Amino acid sequence: MTLTVRDILDFESLYESELIAGMKGLQKEVTGIMVMEAPDIEAWGNFGQVCLTSFFALENLSLTETKKFFIKANTIGIAAFIVKLDRLVKKIPAHFIEECNVNQIPLIKIQKETRYEAIILSVMETLINKNKVLLDRYYMISNQFTNMALREPRLKDILALLEDLIPNPVSLFKNNSIIYRSINLELGDFHVSKSTKLAKKRYTNFEYQRQVVSHTDLTAQHYSQLSVEIPSLGTDVYRLIIHELNQKTTEDDFMAIENTVSSLQMELLKKYALQQQNLSHLNEIINDLIYARYQTEEELAEILHFLNLSKKDNIHLVIFDLSVESNRKKVKREDSESILNTLSNYISIRWSKFVSLVKKDKIIFLICNSDNDQGFSEKITVAINSFTSLSYYSQLSFNIGISNKSNVTDLHLANKQANNILKILKLTGQKNKIVSYKDLGIFQLFLETNNIDELIKFVPEKILEIQKTKPELNKTLRVFLDHNQNFKTTAEELFIHPKTAKYRIERLIKLANINFENPEELLQINIGLRLLEFIDTTL
């Protein structure tokens, strides 16, 4: 229980005392007492301190200096002033009384015969006894939580113990969704109208907010809550709420709450470590499957059993690449895991059977389905668009590669297909593209080469020479062919004048001797221009 100024007025040593000013500050906490000898209160004052004085040290202060002194005292948190008048100071100045009222600091006058020693002894004895009681209670509470920790408790076991120790109901939230509700009261949604950060005290280690809320399940009346975030790893945010429906949280209650938060933190850290261990093992198993790192049919059967897959499953492998250059900061693993969790929700709406993993800045899905390649590509595009419509991910840059449908024994080939798509997109500097292997058309033939740079041999020599010296001409030619040799639409896409487009084509005809009437020649040029987009032409 907190010792207040009102409490010390009941001490026998202050029996004949008189409260002169600062009546509104009687609930101030008392943490110590001392004799004031000088006005430099910022040098020796402490929160909750009661100051014994004859006011002789303040007698020569001007009105301005007196005002500053009491402002400092209020800022520090001085609990009260006890003044004894004697032969040096006969009367408490009126402006002293006024400042005590303004700053709500109780001013207590004692008789000349009252001994300072008696007051100091009674205050310190009470504080020492109070601290002993607090220490005993802390030891008792700490023992209860320690014994419970040895039994490997669930989160609700920890919260149930807290409810036995404090008079108010509690709730636990995960990412703003309630996961534990007090059995003492049905608490529904609430609206926070005000939130104030509490100053840390000597017995608190965590950050607390006091919130004024209204519960929709109760009445329109406002209630007070104590809210504290549980420090944890990962992307999930846990918050403990103390519903102060019965009484405000006391110093004793804080002891129980502090132990509860520490216990919850420990359990959440254990839970996170176990999840990461399981996730790491799962990722290894999936990697063994998509890289064909199994030697026998028995090993493959074990992998499929662990992943709840079957040899009969038809699977599309989808790689979500977050390493595109337009992402300002390097994507962290926890960011990728958060994206995976959100993406999985959209995947699960359409397909019930899939596995996934995070690999650096890539997210890989193995999705079991009965769709053909085109149908699957359309469905996954709808799922991705739904995901990117969320405001939180609307600025995210990515590329997506989708393999052909594969059986489980050919997933290593599907993995290669999806990665080759991403390699092409990266080399061409594209972003926010969703490309399936079937979309590549004839370029699938070129991707079968082990060295993508060997593709340069399929580019006509005259086009390759122009690329090295006048790449803007090749770009114009590509757009010109894409628009059925129309100068106007070519100019519009390139943001140039039609005359400029015509001039460039005429130069190409002269430099490369291109015959636009020969369809076979145009086909070779078209293929060569597209290959130039994803090979290193500096070789």
Highest mean pLDDT among 52-56, 122-126, 219-223, 323-327: 122-126
Whether 195 and 227 share a structural domain: yes
Average pLDDT of the residues of the chain: 86
Where a domain ends, among 399, 428, 448? 448
Read off the pLDDT of each residue in 311-331 and give the average, rounded to a whole number: 80
Whether 316 and 417 share a structural domain: yes
Please indicate, yes or no, if residue 143 is contained in any of the structural domains: no
Q: Please tell me whether the overall predicted TM-score, pTM, comes out greater than 0.95 for this model.
A: no
Q: pLDDT of 7-22, one tens digit each? A: 999 999 998 899 999 9
Which H/E stretch holds residue 72?
helix 63-76
Whether 424 and 349 share a structural domain: yes
Whether 402 and 515 share a structural domain: no
Using CA atoms, how far residue 256 sits from 163, 205, 259, in Å, is: 9, 12, 5
Whether 439 and 337 share a structural domain: yes
The C-alpha torsion from 25 through 27 and 33 to 36, rounded to 10°, is: 0
Please indicate, yes or no, if residue 424 is contained in any of the structural domains: yes
Q: pLDDT of 138-195, one tens digit each? A: 888 889 998 988 888 989 899 999 999 998 999 999 888 888 877 655 555 678 888 8
3 state SS of 154: coil
pLDDT of residue 266: 92
CB < 8 Å & 24+ apart, contacts of 11-14: 11/119, 11/122, 11/123, 11/126, 12/122, 13/114, 13/115, 13/118, 13/119, 13/121, 13/122, 14/82, 14/108, 14/110, 14/114, 14/119, 14/122
Whether 344 and 402 share a structural domain: yes
pLDDT of residue 246: 85
In this structure, are residues 359 and 283 in contact, taking their beta carbons and an 8 Å threshold?
yes
In this structure, are residues 27 and 4 in contact, taking their beta carbons and an 8 Å threshold?
yes
Burial 151-175 (b: 16+ CB within 10 A, else e): eebebeebbbbbbebbebbbbbbbe
Q: pLDDT of 419-440, one tens digit each? A: 988 887 876 667 899 999 888 7
Please indicate, yes or no, if residue 519 is contained in any of the structural domains: yes
Read off the pLDDT of each residue in 46-71 and give the average, rounded to a whole number: 89
Domain count for the chain: 4
Where a domain ends, among 423, 448, 473? 448
Whether 427 and 521 share a structural domain: no
pLDDT of residue 444: 67
- We report the CATH number of the domain holding residue 316 as 3.30.70.270
Whether 338 and 440 share a structural domain: yes
pLDDT of residue 331: 61
Residue 265 structural domain: 152-271
Whether 36 and 180 share a structural domain: no
pLDDT of residue 136: 79
Whether 416 and 458 share a structural domain: no
Measured at the alpha carbon of residue 414, what is the angle toward residues 426 and 276, in degrees to the nearest 5?
80
Please indicate, yes or no, if residue 539 is contained in any of the structural domains: no
Terminal C-alpha separation, the chain: 81
In whole angstroms, give the CA distance from residue 359 to residue 362: 5
Please indicate, yes or no, if residue 507 is contained in any of the structural domains: yes
Could you tell me which residue, 203 or 185, shows the higher pLDDT? 203
Whether 295 and 444 share a structural domain: yes
Whether 430 and 484 share a structural domain: no
